[in-house]
Amino acid sequence: MSMSDKEKILSRIENKEAAIGVVGLGYVGLPLAIAFAEAGYRLVGIDVDESKVDALNRRESYIEDVPSEQLAAVVDSGLFYASSDYSELAGVDAISICVPTPLRKTGDPDISFIIMASDEIARVGGSGKLIILESTTYPGTTEEIILPRLISNGDVIGRDVFLAFSPERIDPGRKDYTIFTTPKVIGGVTPACLEVAVKLYSAIVREVIPVSSTSTAEMVKLLENTFRAVNISLVNEVALMCDKLDLDVWEVVDAATTKPYGFMPFYPGPGMGGHCIPVDPMYLSWKLRTLNYKARFIDLAAEVNGQMPGFVVSKVADALNEERKALNGSRILILGVAYKPNVNDVRESPAMDVIILLQEKGAVVRYHDPYVPSLEHEGFELSSISLTDADLENSDCVLILTHHDSFDWPTIANKSRLIVDTRHAINKQGSGKLIYL
């Protein structure tokens, strides 16, 4: 009796004979590809960006979480190479799709990258393969968008081709949780699909969490990030209330954190940023609108967090006013424009809105961020300055938006005349005036 397609792929995964493709070589796809290659699987990475493909084949990484030395080791071993040609996927056993899913300006999810990847995979042939979507999206995407394309040739799902969803859980810059140590949620279209996907990911992940369907796995990811978005918006609103009540929100949160149960600390800031937290809940809100349901918590969270850049600018204006200075014409030095510490990612960073609002009010804005050498956004182009004592001393206000570990906080505190600190980065009063969010 000949082996079924399921038995073949399970055997090839078990014996590390399986070849794997990863579509999309960004902050999710590249670390995943490297993890499979380091586990001993042959790996081809696909990306439409030729410059990324060329860099990877030159052993040059553009992702902070993947050092070039680590990339070079798997390239030199012959286990990894990159290409822009989807035809390279014809001979692989499994394909992980890790393409972007941004929001359009209308708030609708843009799944065009998923559609393009699915069409290309169907063109080269999905028969006998496992296809896993990792891109964050709304519940139902895997079965509504990818499945019809894979079975259009007559293949039977769970017998001839296997399809699953496993949400990425990458937190750029984080060292304590890696692909291996972070549990992996997986949902399959059929039990056979789930079995094959669990087998594959068990090769690189310590703990796999199977769930009943792809839609459940899609919803898990959205719940995780909606939880963070709602709680960040809650503490940001508490910050707004504390400002009205003349209370220190940082003291309030720190005291509440001493409760050993029933409380989890979140901290205020200039707004939400990054690839997930501001965006992912909106997929769910959009999906529910199509079902005539209003996701009120999600919409309110977005509204509250959207107010924070304006609140930050008002704090700067009030602080300058107390020094008998107008915001118009004042020299504002921003420290940190990345959306979180110790990364170079500015996607959805609240710093962009803060800069626009400051410039609209006539402020002269400069910034320093060792991770972000230049910025180009709607209406402005700026380059990071090399921070000196004179830069701090000559600025009318130093505005802290991102608390990178590399910043010399004692010097910043002692050389600045006026500081507005949105991250509680400075714990000790310096020579100048210090104002917290």
For residue 167 the two structure tokens come to 């949400």
Q: Between β-strands 364-368 and 80-83, what pairing exists: parallel, antiparallel or unpaired?
A: unpaired
Q: What is the CA radius of gyration of the chain?
A: 24
DSSP 8-state assignment for residue 109: B
Using alpha carbons, select from 360, 343, 363, 323 the residue that is nearest to residue 276. 343
Residue 138 CB neighbour total at 10 angstroms: 23
**Range 75-90 burial, b when 16+ CB lie within 10 A, else e:** beeebbbbbeebebbe
Tokens 């669990």 correspond to: 198
For residue 6 the two structure tokens come to 């399921």
Q: Report how far Cα 318 is from the mean position of its chain's Cα atoms.
A: 33
- Catalytic site positions: 276
Per-position DSSP letters for 324-353, written without gaps between them: T--STT-EEEEE--SSSTT----TT-HHHH
> 145 in helix, strand or coil?
helix
> 435 in helix, strand or coil?
strand
